[in-house]
Amino acid sequence: MSVRQAIVGIGQTVYRRRNPDANTAELVRRAVSEALADAGIGLDRIGVVVSGVAPDALAGRTDIDKSSVARPGIPYFRVNTGGASGSSAFLAAMSWIAAGRCDAALVVAVERMGHASTAQKVFNSIFDPIYEKDISLSTISMVAMRATMLMQEHGYTLDHWAGLAARNSASSMLNDTIDQPRSFTADDVLKSPVLAWPIHALESCPMTEGACAVVLVADHLVGDRNAAWVHGAAGLSDSYAMGDRIHRAEGSLVDLLTLIRSTAKAYDMAGITDPTRQIDCIEIQAPFASSEAMAYTALGLCTPAGGPAFVDAQIDRSSRISINPSGGPQAVNPVSATALIRIAEAALQVRQRAGRRQRDGVRTAVATGQGGATQFSTCVVLGDRAQ
Amino acid sequence: MAADAPTRRKAANAVYVHGVAITIGWADERLSLGDLIFNGVSAALADAKLSMAQMESVVLASHDLVDGRSLSSMVTAPPAGAYLRDEIRLSEDGLAALSLAAARVEAGECEYSVVAAWGRASEGDFARISRRSFDPAMVQPFAVDEFGVSAMRLSAWLATHGPAGEARSRAGAVRERSAAHRRLPTTKLVSMPAPLMSNDAPRPADIMVAAIVGRASAAIRIAGVGHGTDLTAIGDRDLKRCTALADAAAIASGAAGIAPDGFDLYELDGATLADEALAVEAVGVAAPGQGFAARATDPRINRSGGGAAGWAYPANGLLRFADACLQMRGEAGAIQLPGRPRTALATGLSTVAGQAAVVVALEAS
């Protein structure tokens, strides 16, 4: 990176199913005010506002960002890369600062999907209108196909998905940004309804609203602020067509090729050669337990064949690396904001400001972003000191 | 006023325009949206004499719902070259995408970047879609859309400056005459709310514009970029001033070191003729009240025909930019300005009704 950058401010609303008491601008104001106060920076010091807002249809209104995030007098633009919108917006803000266009950026992501009567109907319409919409393809059926492949090719079982979901549930109970965390065991997961085999209801994310804001600055503005330094960051896009990715030579549908390559680039920038030893904490954008397991391999934490054993170690908490101490997207998944929340939570961990969910000794943390049928991937590496 | 520092391109991190391509048509059943995008990016690469293998970055501008898909870039990014590349998509006008692509080059993140923006007006009713951008409780019941705001803007202008009369008619005639070079088929009529008139209407079209920008020296340099942002609420805005556009233009022209009225060419985005005339005033090429007169008589302004030569959100700003580049290269055909413009100013407006604006100043290297 040509300019060293750091996160010095974070703000989050409470995440809940609906917010009938607040309009979108009010949600954004809560997150932004908290982030600016955390950073000790006024809006007059912000040189660009970048938002991450995913499908307009989820909010039932187009360009909802303009009336809630855009700030008169400050350059503004909106990023939309589906579920990766928040982290893509973060990368865009990094480019702005690295280009010397400003030295302080405000990244905001907000989700109002509580307005949608059903998210899955909206998600069905993201696919090809001729070939795919009519076969009921949705985010859930898409994940089910991948989970089945993982079970068939690498030996995962339903217990792995249920165990991960239960671990995330337990972690979420310590997260004070969640309005009503769901407490359940692995047995509860297996007894919950099947949405699309092998996906059970309790291992999938709930519909969630909320906003997240992050203040990103160039190194000369950090001063004595408690900072999470960006050591590496990268993003990559793929074909969205799952059929083209099933037996692709470069990597199959469950190999998450874009996350592999994003991670490799970010690790290289950060000087990470042995992630299992050098990384202390990871926030993974995985709205389903099987998606989380799929990311472990892409992040270099285990081999494909060693995936089930690594999941076992996560379930019994014998692994050194803390994964999703916030509870992750299986606890709350405000789609537009989820990827930025991963960055925010990773930053809170390295800043030792994660409250009851703080894990000991976190000095290096990683956050991933996934969007558009895992078409978009991002990886951000954060550390507690400048490189 | 915009808080961003002027983004002057220094020699050390200058960004150049290597290629542009414009595709404008209407309901061509032979081409899917993916085909349209693939062809456009391929043409821009050919124009730049570069290959996709040399592109490390792709920045796109498209809009959910205008595309008929609820996540526009998902299906359409790969045809734009985003396959296994660092791609980002903005829900803004295409000129914002160009600005971000230039920032990536300036930052040293890539040597070249693809920029692409598209809109397919034949697949949707923009006015109807734009209504969904307004407050659902307080504004949508009044059926306000982007053209309705344009009418309010013109009303405010007329209340201050009086009827433009002959200048307004002549500006419309000049616009239509310039637009004839596109040879666009009859598309569809857009009804204009009063005091707009039928000749204020844009000509909806299916538009795909692509550009290649990069660090290597080329004939056209991006000399300045400005962003401006206005209030959302129409009632709170100074409608005549077009605040976001005025702020962005001041920053871009200042960064380029060129007086606001000193460019050789102005390609200005506007949903209607009236919006183009007010944009002329906002960027500083004509005094307040003189926008229609300048639009009618100054050959530097929207030589391309502006919105009458094809209009589809969110491709318009990048279209204005590409038209400016063609003029500067002496490749504008029947509408080529005498001599070759050495400087140009291109503008792009995003929803809601120009709430966000991007202005790019261009200079011959």
Sign of torsion over alpha carbons A161, A164, A170, A176: negative
Mutate to test the interface with B, among A41, A80, A121 (most CBs of B within 10 A): A80
Mutate to test the interface with A, among B70, B133, B222 (most CBs of A within 10 A): B70
Residues of A within 8 A of B77 (CB-CB) are 237, 240, 375
Alpha helices by DSSP H, listed for chain B, are: 33-48, 72-76, 94-106, 126-131, 146-161, 165-179, 243-256, 273-282, 291-297, 316-328
Looking at the complex, report in whole angstroms how far the Cα of residue A75 sits from the nearest Cα belonging to chain B: 5
> pLDDT of A250-286, one tens digit each?
889 899 999 999 999 999 999 999 999 999 999 999 9
> pLDDT of A98-116, one tens digit each?
999 999 999 999 999 887 7
> pLDDT of B66-121, one tens digit each?
666 667 667 788 899 999 999 999 999 999 999 999 999 999 999 999 999 999 88
Average pLDDT along chain B: 92
Q: What is the pTM of this model?
A: 0.96
- Choice among A227-236, B3-12, B70-79 with the minimum mean pLDDT: B3-12
Instruction: Compare CB distances from A95 to B64, B91, B100 and report the shortest one's residue.
Output: B100
More confident residue, A31 or A55: A31
pLDDT at residue B73, as a whole number: 66
* Residue pairs between chains A and B whose CB atoms are closer than 8 Å: 195
* Helices A158-172 + A289-298 axis angle, to 10: 100
Residue range A292-309: average pLDDT?
A: 97
CA nearest neighbour of B103 among B21, B19, B9: B9
pLDDT at residue A137, as a whole number: 77
pLDDT at residue A120, as a whole number: 75
Looking at the complex, report in whole angstroms how far the Cα of residue B290 sits from the nearest Cα belonging to chain A: 26
Cβ pair B288, B156 in contact under 8 A? no
Exposed/middle/buried for residue A159 (C-beta within 10 Å: 0-12, 13-18, 19+): middle
Say whether pLDDT at B8 is over 50.
Answer: no
pLDDT at residue A55, as a whole number: 78
Sign of torsion over alpha carbons B41, B79, B34, B38: positive
CA nearest neighbour of B5 among A103, A107, A78, A77: A103
pLDDT at residue B129, as a whole number: 86
Instruction: Compare CB distances from A78 to B92, B108, B233 and report the shortest one's residue.
Output: B92
Residue range B200-211: average pLDDT?
A: 96
Residues of B within 8 A of A78 (CB-CB) are 90-92
CA nearest neighbour of B365 among B46, B47, B8, B17: B17
Say whether pLDDT at A60 is over 80.
Answer: no
> pLDDT of B240-287, one tens digit each?
999 999 999 999 999 999 999 999 999 999 999 999 999 999 999 999
Say whether pLDDT at A129 is over 80.
Answer: no
> pLDDT of A165-192, one tens digit each?
999 999 999 999 999 999 999 999 999 9
Cβ pair A78, A22 in contact under 8 A? no
Asked if A44 lies within 8 A of B3 by C-beta distance, the reply is yes
Instruction: Compare CB distances from A61 to B85, B96, B132 and report the shortest one's residue.
Output: B132
pLDDT at residue B4, as a whole number: 44
- The nearest alpha carbon in chain A to B105 belongs to A99
Residue range B130-138: average pLDDT?
A: 88
pLDDT at residue B188, as a whole number: 79
Instruction: Compare CB distances from B229 to A60, A75, A95 and report the shortest one's residue.
Output: A75
More confident residue, A205 or B68: A205
Please write down the HEC assignment for all residues of chain A: CCCCEEEEEEEECCEECCCCCCCHHHHHHHHHHHHHHHHCCCHHHCCEEEEECCCHHHHCCCCCCCCCCCCCCCCEEEECCHHHHHHHHHHHHHHHHHCCCCCEEEEEEEECHHHCCCHHHHHHCCCCCCCCHHHCCCHHHHHHHHHHHHHHHHCCCHHHHHHHHHHHHHHHCCCCCECCCCCCCHHHHHHCCEEECCEEHHHECCECEEEEEEEEEEHHHCCCCCCEEEEEEEEEECCCCHHHHCCCCCCCCCCCHHHHHHHHHHHHHHCCCCHHHHCCEEECCCCEHHHHHHHHHHCCCCCCCCHHHHHHHHHCCCCCCEECCCCCCCCCECHHHHHHHHHHHHHHHHCCCCHHHCCCCCCEEEEEEEECCCCEEEEEEEECCCC
Asked if A67 lies within 8 A of B107 by C-beta distance, the reply is no
Mutate to test the interface with A, among B71, B115, B144 (most CBs of A within 10 A): B71
Instruction: Compare CB distances from A67 to B92, B129, B232 and report the shortest one's residue.
Output: B232
pLDDT at residue B351, as a whole number: 87
Cβ pair A245, A54 in contact under 8 A? no
Asked if A235 lies within 8 A of B87 by C-beta distance, the reply is yes
- Residue B96 CA to residue A170 CA, distance in Å, equals 43
Exposed/middle/buried for residue B33 (C-beta within 10 Å: 0-12, 13-18, 19+): buried
Say whether pLDDT at B7 is over 60.
Answer: no
Residues of B within 8 A of A118 (CB-CB) are none
Residues of B within 8 A of A261 (CB-CB) are 84
Exposed/middle/buried for residue A232 (C-beta within 10 Å: 0-12, 13-18, 19+): buried
Residue range B146-164: average pLDDT?
A: 95
Asked if B69 lies within 8 A of A72 by C-beta distance, the reply is no
CA nearest neighbour of B298 among B160, B167, B197: B167
pLDDT at residue A136, as a whole number: 74
> pLDDT of A74-107, one tens digit each?
999 999 998 999 999 999 999 999 999 999 999 9
Say whether pLDDT at B29 is over 50.
Answer: yes
Residue range B113-133: average pLDDT?
A: 90
- Residue B104 CA to residue B120 CA, distance in Å, equals 27
